[in-house]
Structure 1
Amino acid sequence: MSLKYKFPENFWWGSATSGPQSEGRFNKKHRSVFDYWFDIEPQAFFNGVGPNVASNFYNSYKEDVKLIKEIGLNSLRTSIQWTRLIKDFETGEVDEDAAKFYNNVINEFIDQGILPVINLHHFDLPVELYEKYGGWESKKVVDLFVIFAKKCFELFGDRVKYWATFNEPMVVVEGEYLYKFHYPKLVDGKKAVQVLYNLNLASAKVIKEFKELGYDKNGGKIGIILNLTPSYPRSQEEKDVNAAKFVEDFFNNSFLDPAIKGKFPENLVEILNKDNVIWESTEEEMEIIRNNTIDFLGVNYYQPRRAKAKEEKFDESNGWMPDKYFDNYEMPGRRMNTYRGWEIYPQCMYDIAINVRDNYNNIPWYISENGMGVEGEEKYINDDGVIEDNYRIEFYEEHLSYLHKGISEGSNCFGYHTWTPIDCWSWSNAYKNRYGFIAVDLPTQIKTIKKSGRWIKEVAKNNGF
């Protein structure tokens, strides 16, 4: 059979989830900021559904991995929960039950021929470290995170070869400190900038530990997962172009540049200095960031950003905000995923591929998340009880065709992971929008493969479509 789109050899066809979104809180001794937020304000979560059960992966991982194998995936990313693995955050003492659970999960993936990619932080900061130190505002927490990471490497580094320090660290900055969609829902631009810096520092310190312990010598690689939202100006007028450039620097390059180039974008540093909100840093820390860059990049891509020059005077009443330098632009006629309120723009895949190729040393990278969340998928169930999610298949094919174009023009992309293998719990959105190849019936936790699950099996088998 001749394929229109053939991908490089040994390409990763996989999917991504996370500990807090799949495991449930079973047998977990500590609370994350999300566990705590649900406990104090359950009504903030869609239909009042919190992280307590999620998709029950803690209890059903064997069956779940079997289903993932059945849809033909060769790789899968999940995360280790700091709040589950570590008994004492200060000393790094490990919870034996948790170590056993994660060992079993990793072994199960490997036994089924699925490459495990393990991420260390997926918005699940222990709440007591927020209460005690201010969470990511504190460099003490940075050092405690390094202790946790080191434990993960020691326990699982003999089998796990691909590690990520953080998933979407920019979302921590935006959700917790700017736009109030994650607990503690602060609006504090100066704190946000310090958190942005501390997360970059934490990532570099973990990479330093990984290399000093020699995990890179036995084929181990460590990277970071960034949600890139390429920024397009409303027009080619200088003021719109400058607004989009600031958006690009603040929301994308503030993590991309340190991770790959070991330094922050100069224009951004200049603006933060001028506005007197620059982070506190030391020369020694900057040296650590400079010398501990990533081996590979994961890119989560869902939607672009579109920016225009400010049209109203910036409201200073909340103090400094990045919004001082741009307004969001709603492009007329844009395609939308109305369930999520996100623009659908698959061409972005190509733009990301070329940006990494031309501006970031053509570092090895992969799409670590791409997906389409849809509400009310039960209305697409056919007579055989299968969800016919043709819209998801079309979404993936479009995005993959643009990714393929970038690869064919020399971008060093080695894989494509969707969000997510099995419908999972999604923060305050809970189960509102479903993303999986495999559906979960929440009351029974019965899991069934959707039409897209059969589709991805063929794509992975043929290494293209």
Structure 2
Amino acid sequence: MNTFPKGFLWGGASADFQVEGGFDEGGRGLLSHDYETDGSLEEPRHHTMKMPDGTLIYPRSSFFYADEVPPEAEPVFLEDAYYPSHKAVDFYHHYKEDIALMAGMGFNVYRFSICWSRIYPNGEEEQPNKEGLSFYRNVINELKKYGMEPLITICHDEMPMNLALKYDGWSSRYLIDCYLKYCKTLFEHFGQDCKYWLTFNEINAVKGFGPCGTRKSDGHVRYLAAHHMFVASAKAVILGHEMMPDAKFGTMYAMSELYPASCKSEDVFHALLERRENWYFIDIMARGYYPSYAKQIWKHHGFDHLEISDEDKDILKRGQLDFVSFSYYRSNITQAGDPWFNVGGSINPYLETTPWGWPIDPLGLRHVMNTIYDRIQKPLFIVENGLGVVDQADENGYVEDDYRIEYLKDHFKAMRDAINEDGVDCIGYTMWAPVDLVSLSTGEMKKRYGFIYVDMNDKGEGSLKRTPKKSYYWMKEVISSNGSSID
């Protein structure tokens, strides 16, 4: 069979702070991402913060690194810095146009994140921000007009800045209550129109500055923060199932296939240990309990114990995920002696790379799908995959992006083989991203992923005109044929 299953969900994915803009409109509060520069002041991308004596510091904000930030440091906006999230690509004012363009490709699902601080600006208000609720109601209504399912990411590596500063993010158990209040508000206002929900984005990247919102790089603090997120997610799933019996919940994981650098026993065993960094998160949330190797993970990160109450264990068991969603962009190789969670990995001589050095490995996607499904036996949803390159647009904004078409074609074939030949249950695919957006790791616009070109440069300059690329029309054929056209 050369098609995808009937009812397969085809669409695109984005994050609010990378597309939305309008950071000071509609009652929105500040996020930690709002203080991230485009990298022109300091490389790579950094937060801008000030010490009490006026000294500026630039803690790294790249997703996979974190410097320990002094508690007395305060975030500041600098006049000579550009902050990409403030404008992004202005989905806030272009959502109708963007959704119409997505519908033109035949999308039947769109994954987007709701900005927590647009609903609760400081995270602690008694009542939600009505303007924020109204904006997302309009977005959802527009999606429904075109027959698109909203796939909502409740928390995409962010939180109101007040919670990060006042409580050091998820290191405080207090955030569970703040998050549950936020979730309940979303379920009450949007639950009747939204079936698919993701509680967190790339939750396994706890070494990053963003997901936990804590300033500390201490292993115990970060894995305690992760535990609080596990409990919050499970409580959200329990509450969501009560309020919306037909709703389905997942959490998104950053997945890269990991190969041992050789068949040397030490390299193979090291790859096993490093894979457990990802399985730790999936096992706890999709199986509902801490795995036997948890203490090994903790020991590696410098501590030997987490306080986990019987009540928390019960919550984790009752709040298991309904499906497993993940991002897949690349594979890595590792060998004995490499650090765990070595995202950059080592060079794989058998694979080509993107301009940013990411190995291109479609078969790795099939491998990941099989490995997760064999282990968890719950439906999969691929919610991020795509190619970031420097697109060259003509005078009309049109891009001949055959390279993106080839990338997607190879990954779609691997995904289809995993489903049809290997028996993997996969319910959908959302490509990163339907519209060009600001890069998370670099703050650039030149690293483009979209089917739709946006006329804007790295400094936010341009007309913001949207123009479909060649891949837009190719993807339209893929969706209309449910995948048969890729042969």
Write the letter of the residue equivalent to 2:371.
N
1:439 to 437, 453, 469: 453
Q: Which residue pairs with 1:371 in the alignment?
A: 386
1:175 equivalenced with 2:174 (yes/no): no
| Alignment of structure 1 residues 114-133 onto 2, 5 Å | 114-133=148-167
Decide which structure has greater helix share: 1
Matched with 1:296 is: 323
Closer, same or farther: CA 43–228 of 1 in aligned 2, 3 Å: same
Q: Give the stretch that moved more between structures: 231-240 or 12-21.
A: 231-240
Q: 1:7-156, aligned counterparts within 5 Å?
A: 7-24=4-21, 25-27=23-25, 28-38=27-37, 45=45, 48-87=82-121, 89-156=123-190
Alpha-carbon deviations, 1:296-332, whole Å to 9, x = none? Answer: 2212101123221117xxxxxxxxxxx3698975244
State whether residues 92 and 151 of structure 1, in contact with CA within 8 Å, keep that contact through their aligned partners in structure 2: no
Q: How is 1:367-446 mapped onto 2 (pairs within 5 angstroms)?
A: 367-375=382-390, 377-378=391-392, 381=393, 385-408=397-420, 409-430=422-443, 431-442=445-456, 443-446=462-465
Q: Is the 8 A contact 2:39 2:442 kept in 1?
A: no
2:361 is the counterpart of 1:345: yes
Distance change >3 Å, CA 61–CA 174, structure 1 → 2: same
- 1:183-207 per-position Cα deviation (integer Å, ceiling 9, x unaligned): 8765322222222222222211211
| Counterpart for residue 255 of structure 1 | 281
SS in 2 for 1:14: strand
* Structure-1 separation of matches of 2:452 and 2:343: 38
CA contact (8 A) 1:142 1:201 kept: yes
Q: Note if contact 1:243-1:326 (Cα within 8 Å) is conserved in structure 2.
A: no
Aligned partner of residue 374 in structure 2, secondary structure: helix
Contact between 1:234 and 1:329, CA under 8 Å: does it hold in 2?
no
Partner of 2:472: 453
Verify the 8 A CA contact 2:295 2:304 in the aligned structure 1.
no
Cα deviation 1:327-367 (Å, max 9, x = unaligned):
97524414243422211111112112211332112x11121
1:279 to 286, 306, 317: 306
Structure 1: stretches of 5+ with no match in the other structure? 312-322
Q: Which moved more, 1:74-83 or 1:254-263?
A: 254-263
Runs ≥4 in structure 1, deviation > 6 angstroms?
39-42, 181-185, 324-328
Q: Which segment is superposed worse, 284-293 or 268-277?
A: 268-277
Q: Residue 204 of structure 1 corresponds to which residue in structure 2?
A: 234
SS class of match (2:208): helix
Shift of 1:266: 1.7
Kept in 2: contact 1:439–1:449 (CA 8 A): yes
* Aligned match for 2:296, one of 270, 276, 283: 270
Give, as a single letter, the amino acid of the residue that structure 2 aligns with 1:453.
Y
Tell me, yes or no, if the aligned pair for 1:55 and 1:440 is still in contact at 8 Å: yes
After the TM superposition, which of the residue ranges 390-399 and 278-287 deviates more from structure 2?
A: 278-287
Structure 2 equivalent of residue 320 of structure 1: none
Q: 1:369 to 1:416 in 2, by over 3 A?
A: same
Q: 1:264 to 1:232 in 2, by over 3 A?
A: farther
Query: Per the alignment, in what secondary structure is the counterpart of residue 157 of structure 1?
Result: helix
| CA deviations over 1:16-38 (Å, ceiling 9, x no partner) | 01222111014143111111344
| Cα RMSD (Å) | 2.6
Quick one: structure 1 residues 182 and 369, their matched pair in 2 at CA, closer, same or farther if it must change by over 3 Å? same
In the alignment, is the contact (CA less than 8 A) between 1:309 and 1:327 conserved in 2? no
Q: Distance in 2 between matches of 1:260 and 1:450?
A: 38
Distance in structure 1 (CA, Å) of the matches to 2:242 and 2:321: 14
The partner residue of 2:269 within 231, 242, 264 is 242
Percent sequence identity is 32
Supply the distance in 1 between the matched residues of 2:386 and 2:20 (Cα, whole angstroms): 20
Asked if the contact 1:88/1:94 (under 8 Å) is kept, the reply is: no
Quick one: which of 2, 5, 8 aligns to 2:2? 5
1:386 Cα deviation (Å)?
1.6
Is contact 1:75-1:117 (8 Å) kept?
yes
Aligned AA (2:337): K
Amino acid at match of 2:257: P
TM-score of the superposition, structure 2-length normalised?
Answer: 0.84
**CA displacement, residues 79-119 of structure 1 (integer Å, 9 cap, x when unaligned):** 11111011452244111111111101000000011111111
2: CA distance between counterparts of 1:444 and 1:273?
A: 52
TM-score by length of 1: 0.88
Distance 1:111 1:290 in 2: 37
Give me the whole-angstrom Cα distance separating, in 1, the residues matched to 2:357 and 2:264.
27
